[in-house]
Amino acid sequence: MNKCKKASNKCIFCQIVKKQIPALIIAKNNKAIALLDINPVSDGHTIIIPKKHYCDWQNTPPKVLFAIVKLSYKVIKILNKSLPIKPLGYNYVSNQGKIAGQQVFHFHLHIIPKYKENEGFKLDHGKIKVKKIGEIYKYLTI
């Protein structure tokens, strides 16, 4: 797992929060901001970022996660009401760690509208060989 990166002048999302670089903000609350992703996977692809710097999901306090979840409801309302084509569904995604695809080490939740089955985000079930879940469960039983 990557080392958690602290806030720095180089963090692109901290710079957005401080209004040092522009962003297309569509909603906000006291702890988080929702903005359009600069490189969208689908039309309306939005990311929600906390105003304070936390490197990933695991290092974000529950109170802040809750504020992000609350803001996600607002974002969905806006996207459902105002996009030229109404999304048929959404994927809510957060990548943790470089290996999982995290590029910006300031926690963010992706909200990815879905218009067609084979476009946008998709889990790749069945593509690689994995252990039986019963075998995995043996390690995890509490």
Task: Candidates 80-88, 101-109, 116-124, 134-142: pick the segment binding ligand 5GP (CB under 6 A).
Answer: 101-109
Known catalytic residues are 108
Smaller CB distance to ligand 5GP: residue 29 or 96?
96
Closest contact distance (angstroms) between CB of 37 and ligand 5GP is 5
Q: Could you give the CA distance from residue 81 to residue 94 in angstroms, rounded to a whole number?
A: 24
Q: Is 45 in the site for Zn ion (CB under 5 A)?
A: no
Q: SS3 letters for 54-91?
A: CCCHHHCCHHHHHHHHHHHHHHHHHHHHHCCCCCCEEE
95 sits near ligand 5GP (criterion: CB under 6 A): yes
For residue 54, state whether it binds Zn ion (rule: CB under 5 A).
no
Q: Is the CB of 40 or the CB of 115 nearer to ligand 5GP?
A: 40
Residue 35 CB contacts under 8 Å (≥ 6 apart), including other chains:
16, 23, 24, 25, 26, 46, 47, 49
Which one of Zn ion, ligand 5GP, none interacts with residue 104, CB within 5 to 8 A by kind? ligand 5GP
